[in-house]
């Protein structure tokens, strides 16, 4: 099959204004639970989302990160503050998040501003990560060039030995959380003939205004 022959019809469901909760975060959690239902494909990480960032010159980059919470109207994820994305968010806090849940033919798109979480929140989450991930965060200067893989494996092995008899692996100062406060959240449901449903919440002071967009 060639690229131009690849297409799927979206016929699973529709989305109308009356389906939506007035609170977009409740709506998100509702869709998230739908996406995480027992019959979801086991391999699918529904908390995986594309994070798009841009530097002050407008150069845009994107990558997948994992959503680790929705708290007080903010979407949380964790990473290295000195990575390419970290430096871009330092220069320009405007970001976008995008979830794709193919098994439901749904997409959620978020636009907002990012801030760092508190050091306490970063350290608390870091402590819940598996040992290998905590060691890895210490040895990886994320987004920097490395001469070869051996350098990383040697550094991991050195740290593993250093902490062989105790588990208090430190959370690096340059590692922690970000919280995205959305201005817009779009709920997208694929429909037949590409007449998809797109309902977008726009922040309007303390309230939210819902707008339907053409697909
Ligand atoms: C499914 C999946 C989940 C990921 N989760 C994270 C994450 O939560 N935090 C993170 O820093 N990188 C995560 N990554 C790696 C990033 O996509 C990326 O390679 C890394 O953060 C470096 O990005 P940057 O160089 O653009 O800063 C994940 C990758 C995949 C495929």
Tell me if 30 sits within 8 A of 64, measured CB to CB: no
Tell me if 112 sits within 8 A of 184, measured CB to CB: yes
pLDDT of residue 107: 98
Whole-angstrom distance, CA of residue 171 vs CA of residue 135: 9
Looking at the whole model, is its pTM more than 0.95?
yes
Domain boundaries, the chain: 3-129+173-212
**Distance from Cα 14 to the centre of ligand 1, integer Å:** 32
Which CATH architecture does the domain made up of 3-129+173-212 adopt?
Roll (2.30)
User: What's the burial of 88, exposed, middle or buried (CB within 10 Å: 0-12/13-18/19+)?
Assistant: buried
66 CB within 6 A, ligand 1: yes
pLDDT of residue 171: 98
The pLDDT averaged over each successive group of 10 residues in the chain (215 residues) is: 96 97 98 96 97 97 98 97 98 98 98 98 98 97 97 98 94 98 98 97 97 98
45 CB within 6 A, ligand 1: yes
**Distance from Cα 55 to the centre of ligand 1, integer Å:** 18
pLDDT of residue 25: 98
pLDDT of residue 33: 98
């Amino acid at each position: 099959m060639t690229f131009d022959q690849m297409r799927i019809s979206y016929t699973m469901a529709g989305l109308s204004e009356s389906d939506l909760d007035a609170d977009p975060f409740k709506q998100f959690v509702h869709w998230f639970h739908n996406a995480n239902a027992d019959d979801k494909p086991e391999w699918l990480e529904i908390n995986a989302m594309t994070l798009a960032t841009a530097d002050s010159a407008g150069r845009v980059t994107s990558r997948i990160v994992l959503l680790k919470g929705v708290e007080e109207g903010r979407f949380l994820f964790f990473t290295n503050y000195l990575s390419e994305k970290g430096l871009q968010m330092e220069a320009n806090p405007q970001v976008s998040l995008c979830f794709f849940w193919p098994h439901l033919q749904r997409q959620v798109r978020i636009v907002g501003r990012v801030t760092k979480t508190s050091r306490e929140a970063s350290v608390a989450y870091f402590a819940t990560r598996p040992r290998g991930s905590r060691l890895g965060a210490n040895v990886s200067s994320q987004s920097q060039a490395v001469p070869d893989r051996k350098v990383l494996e040697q550094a991991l092995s050195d740290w593993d030995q250093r902490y062989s008899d105790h588990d208090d692996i430190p959370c690096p100062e340059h590692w922690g959380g970000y919280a995205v406060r959305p201005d817009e959240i779009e709920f997208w449901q694929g429909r037949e003939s590409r007449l998809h449903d797109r309902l977008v919440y726009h922040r309007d002071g303390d309230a939210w205004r819902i707008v339907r967009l053409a697909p």
